[in-house]
Structure 1
Amino acid sequence: MAIGKTYIFDSTKLAIPIHLRTVITGEPAAAFNHCRHVASRAFRMLKRIEQCYAHRYTVMCSTTDRKKYRDHGTSMDRIMFWKEDHKPRNPTLAPSAKIPAEILALYPDRRVYEEFVRRYNRTFADFIRGPYCLWRESVRAVDRAVARSGLSEMDQQEWKRWWQKAFLGEMSKWEDDVYRLVLPKWEVIVGEVCRAIRRRVEYPGALLEEFWAAAWRPLEEDRVRYGSFV
């Protein structure tokens, strides 16, 4: 089963530190609290999107035949989670055995994957235009509130040091992943799987040929468009 990324945050960097609470009050404090709330909402939606992204290899297969779908998902997990050496810093360990080709069954379906990409892209665009855009605006709102708060130069510098290095530094753990979650096109993900098969499967030739042929089986619209040339 595909597993999404685990994010670990330092809770001490998510709340205004004691030495700044006496100066960050009123509008700046309210703007910061709103920013935290907006960040939490954006992060929750990002996690849902990230879970979908983590299943990108599984959704290359149609769900119409449940057994094929399960077999495909299990096979993809075996291939993508295979590790060449579980402890690469320990030279006494032999490399992991490659995966026997006969236990793998892959059923790629371009039409199914491309439909999933269309739905995913709509959700991703909604996230960018909605929660993520609100998050970026809330960051700017904090900066504006602090700038017009009348804080001394020293207090402003103290705040900026914590705000940029601590709080925004923690937020970068998820924000830096936003555009990593763009789904690859069919030809790209097929190439990724082919490279993984070559590297991780024992005697991969026949499996590669079958996977490639199924991945590029002409779609019905291709037959209509090109006729006898397909």
Structure 2
Amino acid sequence: MLQVFSCRMVSALSLLEHLSSADPPSPSTFRSSYPSRSRCAFSQAYHAAEKAHDQFRKLHKNIKNRLYLLCPTDNAIRFQEHCSAINRLQAWGRDGIEYSRRFEIGQTLAPAAKIPSFTLKFHVEESAYKAYQERHQTTRDAFFRGALAYWKECKRHCELLLHRSTISVMDKEMCWDWWRKFLAEVTKWEARVDDLVVPDWPIVLEELTSLVEERADLEDEFL
């Protein structure tokens, strides 16, 4: 059973801050006839899910930065050069598309000019990438053992309380309706937690190579 502690009570409105405006309001029973112990458990679960989602976003962002972390960070100049090169690769062709969308004009049929190779300076080291990969895995493991596990525990506890609740059938159905909609929102990110893995060295190296071949002008000697 979850340890009972003093928790912040969440109003019906704040409980739905992260749900779409199309969702119905939270049941009034959360603030009136529903037992205070259960209201506290729902508040606890809400904040547990919020914290887990925040850590999920940070891990996801860390994976998106993988091409930057191919370079060691101990040399600021080299790291800046590498990041600048990655930025140029990722922005290739995007400016023209955004311009077309902004001014509602058709996109040119001519392909975007490739990036001159001499302007791109990559500094790639396998040891630096593997160190980043290990750091990410450590953070991921802590997320699974900590925030995610705690959210799942809160979820089980809330559902147990709902099943055992002695409130009226109508009130219970209202609570279940809110709870299912809340879980549907959580599932949007919770279903992807197993994807929070940094690709192995050969895969990310192939990813960078493909980007360079597609977007850089390799006719001149590549620096």
TM category (shorter chain) comes to 0.7 to 0.9
Q: Structure 2: which amino acid aligns with 1:138?
A: C
Aligned to 2:40: 30
Match of 2:123 among 107, 119, 122: 107
Aligned to 2:7: none
Q: Structure 2: which amino acid aligns with 1:109?
A: E
When the two chains are superposed, the root-mean-square deviation of aligned CA atoms in Å is 3.0
**Aligned mates of 2:220, 2:48 — CA distance in 1:** 50
- Check if 1:92 corresponds to 2:106: yes
- Check if 1:10 corresponds to 2:19: yes
8 Å contact kept, 1:101–1:201: yes
Offset of residue 91 of structure 1: 7.2
8 Å contact kept, 1:27–1:145: no
Offset of residue 9 of structure 1: 3.3
Match of 2:194 among 176, 179, 198: 179
**Aligned mates of 2:55, 2:219 — CA distance in 1:** 38
Q: Secondary structure at the match of 1:86?
A: helix
Aligned to 2:207: 192
**Aligned mates of 1:13, 1:135 — CA distance in 2:** 25
- Check if 1:139 corresponds to 2:155: yes
Q: Identify if the C-alpha distance between structure 1 residues 173 and 118 changes in structure 2 by more than 3 Å, giving closer, same or farther.
A: same
**Aligned mates of 2:25, 2:44 — CA distance in 1:** 13
Aligned to 1:49: 59
8 Å contact kept, 2:118–2:221: no
Q: Structure 1: which amino acid aligns with 2:57?
A: K
Runs of 5+ consecutive residues of structure 1 not aligned to the other structure: 1-7, 211-230
**Aligned mates of 1:109, 1:31 — CA distance in 2:** 48
Q: Which moved more, 1:123-132 or 1:145-154?
A: 145-154
Percent identity among equivalent residues?
A: 25
Q: Identify if the C-alpha distance between structure 1 residues 30 and 105 changes in structure 2 by more than 3 Å, giving closer, same or farther.
A: same
Offset of residue 143 of structure 1: 0.5
- Check if 1:82 corresponds to 2:96: no
Runs of 5+ consecutive residues of structure 2 not aligned to the other structure: 1-16
8 Å contact kept, 1:146–1:156: yes
Offset of residue 38 of structure 1: 1.3
8 Å contact kept, 1:198–1:204: no
Q: Which moved more, 1:11-20 or 1:112-121?
A: 11-20
Q: Identify if the C-alpha distance between structure 1 residues 51 and 42 changes in structure 2 by more than 3 Å, giving closer, same or farther.
A: same
Offset of residue 203 of structure 1: 3.4
Q: Secondary structure at the match of 2:127?
A: helix
Q: Secondary structure at the match of 1:108?
A: coil
Q: Secondary structure at the match of 2:89?
A: helix
Offset of residue 148 of structure 1: 0.5
8 Å contact kept, 2:70–2:124: yes
Aligned to 1:219: none
TM-score for the superposition, normalised by structure 1: 0.73
**Aligned mates of 2:25, 2:145 — CA distance in 1:** 28
**Aligned mates of 1:9, 1:141 — CA distance in 2:** 22
8 Å contact kept, 1:42–1:132: yes
8 Å contact kept, 1:31–1:142: yes
**Aligned mates of 1:33, 1:51 — CA distance in 2:** 27
